[in-house]
Structure 1
Amino acid sequence: MRWTGRFGIAAAMLALTAPVMAQDARMTAMAAPAEPTAIPLGTGSVENQTAPEAWFRQYGVAMTRNVTTATLTPFLPDPAKATGAAVIVAPGGGFLMLSIENEGWRVAKALAERGIAAFVLKYRLKPTPPDMIGFEKAVTAMFAGAGRPQGRLKPADAIAGLGDQIADARAAVALVRARADGWKIDPARIGMIGFSAGAMTTMATALAAPDTRLAFVAPIYGSMEAVPVPAGAPPLFAVLAADDPLFANKGFGLVEAWQKAGRPVEFHLYQGGGHGFGLGKTGTTSTGWFEDFMHWLDANQLLVRR
């Protein structure tokens, strides 16, 4: 994976443009939606965060920023469809925001429809200015510098900078496992899927917190840079579009590393989709990834009712 200071904001900006290009690109403040089923994870607050959590809408989807209290929101399947499998869903947004509707709620609902218990992780984020104008300026400034030459952080150093996100993911898995009986979940079939920065969170959790015992990991349009693969690493399902402006044409070291380690891996490179396509960008082959993911889970005996 490529662990760079400016990776996040570039991913965030491109993710925001992906859902529906024809819709309004302006960031418009919105009232915080009701989250009656959100469960606080009790992982603490964010250092130097003084601005309250805020919500806005862009390209027709809800986003949130300045998250200081991590939560987990369950999307449980109809008991008649339930497979016993569970997935923690980590939206992207460059660690400055979360594309929680496009890469969280919609994905979780699709999983629940297929009998998989899904849990949207609203993980803690870096502080941003409280006012929308200041936030837009901060995003623009960071994005403008995203393409400048810069060094790469070693994976261990990058993981050290994701302490909050890893702790939130660890707490999410622990919560799901603790409530597995009540939610009709097999504690041995809990995996994690993440998008963009959420993919980075997913991979960091698998690498730095092996005690989570994830049954599988699925980084969706995340970095393809090689990482050290620990013994017993979970099966990996990776997705990327060939026209992704961030991660295409940079090799597939992540996949190769999993292969060399002798761990199960499947990789889908779609012709089109760009970055931030969520469940798929209409008119491109990226719309096929979700069905491919379902097939992969099924082929690996992760959807078998037990």
Structure 2
Amino acid sequence: MPGQAQEDKMVPIAAPAQPGAIELGTGPLPGAKATETWHRQYRSQFARNVTVATLTPFLPDPATASGAAVIVAPGGGFRTLSMENEGWDVAKALAAKGVAAFVIKYRLRQTPADMAGFEKSMQEMFSGTARTPAPAPAAIGNDIAPQIADASAAFRLIRSRAAEWHVDPDRIGMIGFSAGAMLTMATTLSTKDAKPAFIGNIYGPLGTMSVPADAPPMFAAIAADDPLFGNRPFTLIDDWRAAKRPVEFHLYERGGHGFGMYQKATTSTGWFDAFVRWIDMHGMLKKKP
């Protein structure tokens, strides 16, 4: 379809305004030469070659704020970030439910500065990802040390300004999409100070791992027709259950990879409502006395 082909095409755009974005203080990406650029694809705005990490707050109306908060980590293979579909749109929807949301624009691996070279590198990465075994969440920590440092800094920043933002320091969760889900899992496992109160793993790899005794409640969602991770074992769910930690798992028949906040004619579109009902079940939509 011509319309679908047009959506698939990467179109360079100027960096959008990002009012309220706060630098996380983790410094510029070591050795970076390419500078941050943006493009549009699949009805979303993407950032790449991010060298300085930021956090953008989306705060709810104080009258409806519950005190809970969520760090939102977009995906993109650690080479790009789907800032709109898996970031801002998610944060706005959470804020509308009374949850303070913070979109993290974490530092990325360097990619070719020219669009043609970047497109080729992404095609090679995703075709290779579909063929090779997905890494266990615990095994990727060393490969994404800068990104984990950014996520840890995000937790510290929110807690340091909790009173200003009307956030309960003990009710800060994290939700990630694809690579952002990997970052969410690695942050949960690899850091001692982040300690998310709950986590969301949205179409990230669900391979086995050693679950800590104090692992937070986890919500996981993926489509069976996901070309990257849908045909692999979902042993992470079994591991969470074996550790007797709370877990909710949604396996959608269709949805592909990267459905995020897109409205599609598949049941995967319902993941956000299910996630909100889940955090409500865990008391995150209710104000503490």
Q: Same fold per TM (> 0.5)?
A: yes
1:94 pairs with one of 66, 70, 77: 77
Count of aligned pairs between the two proteins: 286
Q: State the distance in 1 between where 2:264 and 2:122 align.
A: 27
How far has the Cα of 1:251 moved from its partner? 2.2
Is 2:132 the partner of 1:146?
no
- CA positional deviation for 1:60: 2.4
TM-score, normalized by length of structure 1? Answer: 0.89
1:24 Cα deviation after fit: 2.6
Deviations, residues 97-133 of structure 1 (Å, cap 9, x unaligned) = 0011110000000000111000000000000111112
**1:184 matched to 2:166:** yes
- Residue 76 of structure 1 is matched in structure 2 by 59
- Letter of the 1:120 counterpart: V
Relative to 1, partners in 2 of residues 1:187 and 1:131: Cα closer, same or farther, differing over 3 Å? same
Identity percentage of aligned residues: 58
Determine the C-alpha separation between the residues in 2 that align with 1:177 and 1:234: 18
**3-state SS of paired residue (1:219):** strand
- Which of 173, 178, 185 is the matching residue for 1:203? 185
Shift of 1:230: 1.2
- Contact between 1:273 and 1:280, CA under 8 Å: does it hold in 2? no
CA distance in 2, matches of 1:188, 1:181: 12
Q: Which residue of 2 aligns with 1:134?
A: 117
Equivalent-residue separation in structure 2 for 1:154 and 1:107 (angstroms): 26
Equivalent residue number for residue 265 of structure 1 = 247
With over 3 angstroms needed to count, the CA separation of the structure-2 counterparts of 1:133 and 1:231, relative to structure 1, is same
Residue 9 of structure 2 is matched in structure 1 by: 26
CA distance in 2, matches of 1:261, 1:269: 21
1:138 deviates by 1.9
Which residues of structure 2 form unaligned runs of 5+?
A: none
Task: Measure the CA separation in 2 of the matches of 1:295 and 1:167.
Answer: 30
Among 58, 70, 87, the residue aligned to 1:104? 87
Instruction: Name which structure has the greater RCO, CA cutoff 8 Å, separation 6+.
Output: 1
1:154 offset after TM fit, Å?
A: 6.0
* 1:179-217 alpha-carbon deviations (Å, 9 max, x no partner): 110111111100000000000000000011142121001
Q: 1:112-159: per-residue Cα shift (whole Å, max 9, x none)? A: 0111000000000000111112212222333343344x5665655421
Structure 1 residues 156, 273: closer, same or farther in 2, change over 3 A? closer
Q: Which residue of 2 aligns with 1:16?
A: none
Letter in 2 for 1:235: P
Distance 2:86 2:9 in 1: 19
Kept after mapping to 1: 8 A contact 2:25/2:53: yes
CA shift in 2, pair 1:151/1:78, >3 Å = closer
Q: Distance in 2 between matches of 1:23 and 1:80?
A: 42
The answer as to whether partners of 2:48 and 2:80 remain within 8 angstroms in 1 is yes
Give 1:21 shift. Answer: 4.1
Q: Could you tell which deviates more after superposition, 97-106 or 28-37?
A: 28-37
**In the alignment, which residue of structure 1 is the partner of 2:224?**
242
Distance change in 2, residues 1:223/1:143 (3 Å)? closer
Q: Given that residues 223 and 230 in structure 2 are in contact (C-alpha distance below 8 angstroms), is that contact kept between their aligned partners in structure 1? A: yes
- Residues 279-298 of structure 1, C-alpha deviations (whole Å, 9 max, x = no match): 25411001111111111111
The root-mean-square deviation of aligned C-alpha atoms, in Å, is: 1.7
Equivalent residues in 2 for 1:3-82, closer than 5 Å: 21=4, 23-82=6-65
1:227 to 189, 195, 209: 209
Q: Could you tell which deviates more after superposition, 107-116 or 23-32?
A: 23-32
Q: Is the 8 A contact 1:72 1:119 kept in 2?
A: yes
